[in-house]
Amino acid sequence: MSVCYSTRLTVTAKKEDLIIILKFLNNYNKNNERIYFNGMNVKFESKTLPKDFNNNFYINDSISAISAEELDKNLNNLDDNKEYTIYITADGPYGKFATIGEVDFFKDLADLSLDITFDGEIVGGESIPEDRLEVKYSNKKLYSKCFQFYDDDNNDVYIEEIEKLLPYNKFCELLKVDKSNFSELDYDYFVLEEIGIQYFPHFYSYNEFIKKCEVSYISKEEYQEAIKEVEKLELPDLEEFNERKNDNFDISEYDSLTRTWKKVDISDNSLLCIANKKIDE
């Protein structure tokens, strides 16, 4: 369960589309079984509003929600031809699957396919301060950038990263490990406990390695040569891996007309620059 996220959303649209958006937000908790928001607060841009307009109200509140009739009545005096901007803040998302990487809230809003623009973010609180999702939507395209802080609860991600650098087969070959007595699951444990926490191979003597990996038949001389090869890979420990969080992000482009996702290849600098510009402009 996610407990420390907060959400910000800024939407610009004309009156007709604003009504649709607010009704969508007002019913989001009911329609989406996976996640919910608590106390979603909406403010309108004050410069273009009628003087008697109520500029601050709650939707999706844990006690009661605004009815569709009340929303229509509240927005009745807005000019049909003007664009208005609303600023939305909320506690959450909460719920069983409400993690940064799984929240489809912004995609659901893009799927309304209205003539709107919006930007937003979901950020972690005190216990998960480095989790962050940033989005920008215009011309029916949604760009998103997701940062996630990997800690001890995300060990699988760390193991996968190490195994890209030093695959199981290569490890066994370099260090003369008997595969029949040292499975890939054994290697996963070794990665987490010995590379991640004990910092193998940086502080490992030959005797320490033989003690930890009882099924290796490597000699002391062979071990010293093997370690030189392993050190070239610059395997990060868990702490180092976490410190690289700013490199651990995904950028995606979503087309609300075709409802298709496309991952932006961050190795392609031209695509990365375009996506960053769309998000940051």
* Res. 63: pLDDT tops 50: no
* Res. 272: pLDDT tops 70: no
pLDDT for 52: 63
pLDDT for 281: 59
Residue 140 and residue 11: Cα distance in Å, rounded? 14
Better pLDDT: 89 or 70: 89
Q: What is the mean pLDDT of residues 94-99?
A: 69
Q: What is the mean pLDDT of residues 185-201?
A: 86
Residue 195 and residue 11: Cα distance in Å, rounded? 46
Residue 195 and residue 188: Cα distance in Å, rounded? 10
pLDDT for 114: 92
Q: What is the mean pLDDT of residues 251-258?
A: 80
Mean residue pLDDT across the chain: 79
Q: What is the mean pLDDT of residues 68-95?
A: 82
pLDDT for 180: 92
Categorize the per-residue pLDDT at 128 as very low, low, confident or very high, splitting at 50, 70 and 90: low
* Res. 175: pLDDT tops 90: yes
Residue 164 and residue 169: Cα distance in Å, rounded? 11
User: Can you give the residue ranges of every domain in the chain?
Assistant: 5-148+248-280, 152-240
* Res. 85: pLDDT tops 80: yes
Percent of the chain having pLDDT more than 90? Answer: 21
